[in-house]
């Protein structure tokens, strides 16, 4: 009789990939600091063997450290379509495998490679832009299929580390990582938003001189917004919709859900509504992060969470 197949490993696994220069190495270091066991540039042919060894090492111990494996276009025999197929196969066999893709706009990547004087790994004898274009084409299947994408175009090193900490505090423990974010449409839509609600129809405290210097966290602003006849019904509908959808996202295995609330500047109405929505979600028994992207009202490039412009804080290395 043939030997039975060995037990399939159940290790929580995070594959970390993305564009060269976007901050993948920084993300891996941040994951390690937050309790992940990290291995970089592992040939995919060794992945299943690694999982089996990792599970055996954890057997009988109190540790449940998840595993983060870094792969990119430089990995031996790399093929994005094959990676996607490999991940699907692991999931079908009960392995909790997810993909984190670190992305960045092409112009910013060119700047980073220029400043650090590094050559792009796919364009050793060509301009960095050529390598970036080629890599984006090669990585497209993984970018489309990733469970979560972090765009570091406007990030400093500190921003990326904090984002990793926020998103992976409960990662791979069977919990949905919920984030409620307020933002200003004047500074653009959040790149990682799953649901976006526009509250620009509510009375704007900006036009009240005594309220303009305040934020949506101040009681006077809250009273002004809540006094709008449209507020109560709209908030009830938004909160009911969100709370009805969250369980469905969990059943489908989604690990991250970002709910974005936007007004014009991101300082008053969106902050107030986001705070109230966070209260409703917590009251329903969920744990969440809350981020006020544009609440500070400073010049573009700085927000209440400490995001900084290039001349104010260390940027991600190339």
d(CA 200, CA 195): 16
pLDDT in tens, 233-242: 999 999 999 9
Q: How far apart are the first and last CA of the chain?
A: 55
295 is in an annotated binding site: no
130 is in an annotated binding site: no
74 is in an annotated binding site: yes
22 is in an annotated binding site: yes
Using a cut of 0.75, tell me whether the model's pTM lies above it: no
Predicted confidence at residue 81, as pLDDT, reads 85
Whether the pLDDT of residue 259 is over 90: the answer is yes
* 17 in Cβ contact with 71 (< 8 Å): yes
d(CA 111, CA 189): 23
Nearest residue to 262 via CA among 181, 154, 151: 181
68 is in an annotated binding site: no
- The DSSP output letter for 203 is -
- Of the given ranges (27-31, 78-82, 149-153), which has the lowest mean pLDDT? 78-82
Q: pLDDT category, 155, cuts 50, 70, 90?
A: confident
Whether the pLDDT of residue 305 is over 60: the answer is no
d(CA 174, CA 280): 22
Using CA atoms, how far residue 123 sits from 79, 104, 113, 290, 318, in Å, is: 18, 17, 11, 40, 14
Nearest residue to 292 via CA among 273, 309, 312: 273
21 is in an annotated binding site: yes
pLDDT in tens, 31-69: 988 888 898 887 766 766 666 665 555 444 445 678 898
Count of other CB atoms within 10 angstroms of residue 34: 16
* 197 in Cβ contact with 183 (< 8 Å): no
**Given phi > 0 = left and psi -120 to 50 = alpha, else beta, which region is 285?**
left
20 is in an annotated binding site: yes
19 is in an annotated binding site: yes
d(CA 243, CA 143): 29
Predicted confidence at residue 302, as pLDDT, reads 31
Count of other CB atoms within 10 angstroms of residue 218: 16
Predicted confidence at residue 58, as pLDDT, reads 47
Q: Can you say whether the dihedral through the CA atoms of 217, 197, 157, 287 is positive or negative?
A: positive
Q: pLDDT category, 8, cuts 50, 70, 90?
A: very low
Strand ranges for 28-176 from DSSP E: 37-40, 67-70, 97-103, 148-151
Predicted confidence at residue 312, as pLDDT, reads 36
Q: pLDDT category, 3, cuts 50, 70, 90?
A: very low
Quick one: average pLDDT of 78-106?
83
d(CA 161, CA 155): 10
128 is in an annotated binding site: no
266 is in an annotated binding site: no
d(CA 208, CA 217): 16
**Domains in the chain, CATH or no CATH each:** 13-168 (3.40.50.300), 177-292 (no CATH)
Quick one: average pLDDT of 140-165?
88
d(CA 163, CA 181): 13
Residues 6+ apart with CB under 8 A from 251: none
Q: pLDDT category, 77, cuts 50, 70, 90?
A: low
Residues 6+ apart with CB under 8 A from 73: 20, 121, 122, 135, 138, 139
């Amino acid at each position: 009789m043939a030997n039975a197949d060995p037990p399939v490993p159940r290790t929580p696994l995070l594959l970390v990939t993305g564009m060269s220069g976007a901050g993948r190495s920084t993300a891996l270091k941040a994951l390690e600091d937050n309790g992940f066991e990290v291995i970089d540039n592992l040939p995919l042919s060794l992945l299943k063997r690694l999982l089996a060894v990792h599970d055996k090492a954890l057997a009988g111990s109190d540790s449940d450290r998840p595993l983060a494996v870094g792969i990119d276009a430089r990995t031996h025999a790399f093929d994005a379509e094959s990676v996607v197929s490999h991940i699907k196969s692991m999931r079908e066999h009960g392995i909790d495998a997810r993909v984190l893709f670190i992305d960045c706009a092409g112009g910013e990547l060119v700047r980073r490679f220029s400043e650090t004087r590094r050559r792009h790994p796919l364009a050793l004898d060509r301009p960095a832009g050529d390598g970036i274009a080629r890599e984006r084409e090669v990585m497209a299947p993984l970018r489309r299929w990733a469970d979560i994408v972090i765009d570091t175009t406007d990030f400093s090193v500190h921003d990326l580390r904090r984002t990793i900490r926020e998103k992976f505090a409960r990662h791979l423990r069977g919990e949905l990582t919920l984030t409620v974010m307020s933002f200003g449409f004047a500074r653009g839509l959040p790149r990682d938003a799953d649901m976006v609600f526009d509250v620009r129809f509510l009375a704007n405290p900006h036009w009240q001189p005594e309220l303009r210097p305040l934020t949506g966290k101040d009681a006077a602003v809250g009273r002004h917004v809540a006094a709008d006849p449209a507020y109560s019904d709209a908030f009830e509908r938004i909160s009911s919709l969100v709370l009805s959808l969250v369980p469905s996202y969990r059943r489908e295995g989604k690990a991250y859900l970002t709910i974005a609330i936007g007004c014009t500047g991101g300082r008053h109405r969106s902050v107030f509504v986001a705070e109230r929505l966070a209260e409703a979600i917590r009251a329903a028994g969920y744990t969440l992060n809350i981020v006020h992207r544009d609440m500070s009202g400073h010049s573009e490039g700085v927000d209440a969470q400490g995001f900084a412009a290039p001349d104010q804080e260390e940027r991600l290395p190339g």
